[in-house]
Amino acid sequence: AVRSLCTVRSGAATMASLRRFRFSDFWSFNAVNLDHLTETYNISFYFRYLAQWPDFFYVAENSGGRMMGYILGKAEGKGEQWHGHVTAVSVAPEERYGGLARKLMKKLEDISEYTYNGYFVDLFVRSSNEVAIEMYRRFEYVVYKRVLEYYADNEDAFDMRKALPRDVDKKSVIPLPNPVHVSDLEFN
């Protein structure tokens, strides 16, 4: 198994190691993934991410090998829009509020910066998910734009962004003044 150099302490005071997601993890991530706060996708979606963007698919597990959380993402865009994208980050309910989400996000940010030389990292979050929005703000993300009717149930999303060092002037995080429609997105 490929292990990261990153070890984190969870809220339950157990040690967690970050490592790349493996195919066999699909059979053990339901406890983390099937949660009302996590957007879920069909299995072929996760397979595609694992095949196309393995650098962006990580799990956190405890010393006994139990999955505590995961993150998946990708690199996309062109020119100054080249960036890392957080598709999903989820931490098991019993492991929340211990810093694990921050460590998973930091891992994706580092990959976006050091491996892919991105300008920023972005993510979409339900406009009603105040807990997540506040968490991302603590991680230095800003609301860049509102996307109208982004989700299947027609709820709006916030596109939140964090500039990386390559974006010296922080152009990527200057908020747009007006909402946009899903059809206006460059990367969907």
CA distance 181 to 31: 33
Look at the alpha carbons of 63, 66, 71, 72 in this order and tell me if their dihedral is positive or negative.
Answer: positive
Mean pLDDT, rounded, for 136-146? 98
Which one, of 119, 84, 77, lies nearest residue 104 by Cα?
84
Average pLDDT over residues 38-53: 88
* Residue 187 tokens, joined: 């990367």
Helix extents (H) in the chain:
30-33, 43-52, 100-110, 130-138
Confidence (pLDDT) at 6:
42
What b/e sequence results for 40-71 when a residue is b if at least 16 CB atoms lie within 10 Å of its CB, and e otherwise? Answer: eeeeeebeebbeebebbbbbbbbeeeebbbbb
pLDDT at 68 over 80: yes
Both tokens of residue 103?
């460590």
What does the pLDDT average to over 49-67? 93
Where residue 97 falls among pLDDT bands split at 50, 70, 90?
Answer: confident
**pLDDT at 14 (0 to 100):** 52
Count of C-beta atoms within a 10 Å radius of residue 115: 12
Confidence (pLDDT) at 96:
86
Q: Average model confidence (pLDDT) for the chain?
A: 88
- Tokens representing 25 are 């993890």
Share of the chain above pLDDT 70, in %: 90
Q: String of b and e for 120-142 (b: at least 16 CB within 10 Å)?
A: bbbbbbbbeeeebbebbeebebb
Q: Give the pLDDT band (50/70/90) at residue 188.
A: very low
What confidence score (pLDDT) does residue 38 get?
Answer: 74
